[in-house]
């Protein structure tokens, strides 16, 4: 009997340790200058943007960094610069703060045929009106079918996010060539909306990802003093900024509005105080099979990677994978062939998370 108990205890101990292995962080590369986004070209190569306007090709095999020339007119101003980069079917999409007249900028999106030496970009979207502000560009990009989704921050203008005749503070949906989908909300009853707008009422959505499980698009939004959230992008709906404060307050301490009220899109998860949510993915891979279907969300302020378990827009559980280990985390991507997770930091380093 004692022998049986010992065998059972050993089995339970072994099983517990097998499934509670702490993920390992390994630095892959350092020396980048204020990077903002990375995207895989293939197993070994990634494209990386730097806010100052540089586009870098990094080879993980030999650790070489090559600068790719381009024709974009980027203005680095505050939070603006060369921001998101997305490689898709031999084309490169970027979002950036486009340098317009009198110091005004726009969250603009351009695409080019991939080339390792030079990229000749052509604009396919420009958020209007252009604004003289270095705040809240949003700027994440996601491809779903033949559509490109774009997050356009409200540029620090608050209630502009409630004006559907202006792009700032909204989620944009266009075709990959820049044409406007004929089934966007404007053509289905939202007559006052600009034709590119898919959803309104966001502040500074710096994370967006397509779920390979339910084919829905999910967002992270950077709130004010509190009020960060994670939720779904929903056709023709309104997240409520700046009528709603999502639990946060202005930086001066004054109240903004309620966390949520009927008539507005409700987020899956809120954070008060703010974690400064940045990028996100919905995990799918073999490296961390037990995470499949969960949202992995990075943060700037508390320098953490968080795992959110949810089902049918209902929050189930949150786990902090690590916090304060590698600095402010700007972007997260999954190496599809392995399921390993790659993280990009403001400090200029790339890290790999694996078992």
pLDDT in tens, 284-321: 999 999 999 999 999 999 999 999 999 999 999 999 99
pLDDT in tens, 164-175: 999 999 999 999
Q: State mean pLDDT over 245-260.
A: 95
- The closest alpha carbon to 186, from 174, 177, 178, 176, belongs to 174
Both tokens of 257, joined, read 């509005």
281 has a pLDDT exceeding 60: yes
Let me know: does 222 contact 230? Beta carbons within 8 Å.
no
Q: What is the rounded average pLDDT of the residues 264-274?
A: 97
Residue 335 has pLDDT above 60, yes or no: yes
The whole-number pLDDT of residue 103 equals 87
Architecture of domain 27-354: 6 Propeller (2.120)
Q: How sure is the predictor about 22, in pLDDT bands with cuts at 50, 70 and 90?
A: confident
| Total Cβ atoms within 10 A of residue 311 | 10
Residue 111's nearest CA partner among 178, 50, 166 is 178
| pLDDT band for position 101 (cuts 50, 70, 90) | confident
Note the pTM of the prediction, 2 decimals.
Answer: 0.94
Q: Indicate the average pLDDT of the chain.
A: 94
Say yes or no to pLDDT of 12 above 90: no
- pLDDT at 236 exceeding the cut of 90: yes
Confidence check: pLDDT of 2 > 70: no
* Residue at token pair 């994370």: 207
Q: Which structure tokens are listed for 98?
A: 């486009």
Domain boundaries, the chain: 27-354
If you average pLDDT over residues 98-123, what whole number do you get?
96
CA-based nearest residue to 98, from 121, 64, 68: 121
C-alpha span between 49 and 61 (Å, rounded) = 19
pLDDT over 70 percentage in the chain: 94
């Amino acid at each position: 009997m004692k022998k049986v108990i010992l065998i059972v205890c050993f089995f339970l101990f072994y099983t517990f340790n097998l499934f509670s292995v702490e993920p390992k962080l390994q630095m892959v590369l350092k020396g980048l200058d204020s990077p903002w986004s990375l995207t895989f070209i293939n197993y070994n190569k990634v494209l990386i943007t730097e806010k100052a306007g540089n586009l870098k090709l990094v080879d993980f095999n030999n650790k070489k960094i090559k600068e790719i020339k381009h024709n974009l007119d980027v203005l680095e101003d505050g939070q603006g610069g060369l921001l998101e980069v997305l490689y898709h079917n031999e084309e490169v999409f970027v979002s950036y703060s486009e340098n317009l007249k009198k110091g005004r900028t726009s969250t603009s999106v351009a695409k080019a045929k991939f080339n390792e030496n030079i990229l000749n970009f052509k604009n396919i979207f420009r958020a209007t009106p252009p604004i003289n502000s270095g705040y809240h560009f949003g700027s994440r990009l996601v491809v779903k079918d033949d559509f490109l989704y774009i997050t356009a921050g409200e540029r620090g203008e608050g209630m502009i996010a409630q004006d559907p005749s202006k792009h700032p503070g909204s989620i944009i949906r266009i075709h990959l060539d820049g044409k406007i989908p004929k089934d966007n909300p404007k053509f289905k009853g939202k007559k006052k909306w600009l034709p590119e707008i898919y959803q309104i009422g966001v502040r500074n959505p710096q994370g967006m990802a397509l779920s390979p499980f339910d084919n829905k698009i999910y967002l992270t939004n950077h709130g004010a003093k509190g009020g960060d959230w994670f939720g779904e992008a929903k056709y023709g709906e309104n997240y409520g900024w700046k009528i709603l404060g999502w639990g946060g307050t202005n930086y001066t301490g004054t109240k903004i509005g309620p966390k949520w009220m009927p008539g507005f899109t409700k987020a899956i998860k809120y954070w008060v105080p703010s974690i400064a949510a940045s990028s996100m993915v919905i995990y799918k891979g073999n490296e961390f099979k037990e995470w499949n279907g969960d949202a992995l969300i990075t943060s700037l302020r508390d320098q953490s990677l968080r795992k959110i378990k949810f089902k049918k827009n209902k929050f189930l559980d949150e786990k902090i994978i690590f916090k304060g280990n590698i600095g402010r985390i700007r972007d997260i991507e999954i190496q599809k062939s392995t399921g390993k997770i790659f993280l990009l930091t403001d400090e200029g380093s790339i890290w790999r998370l694996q078992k």
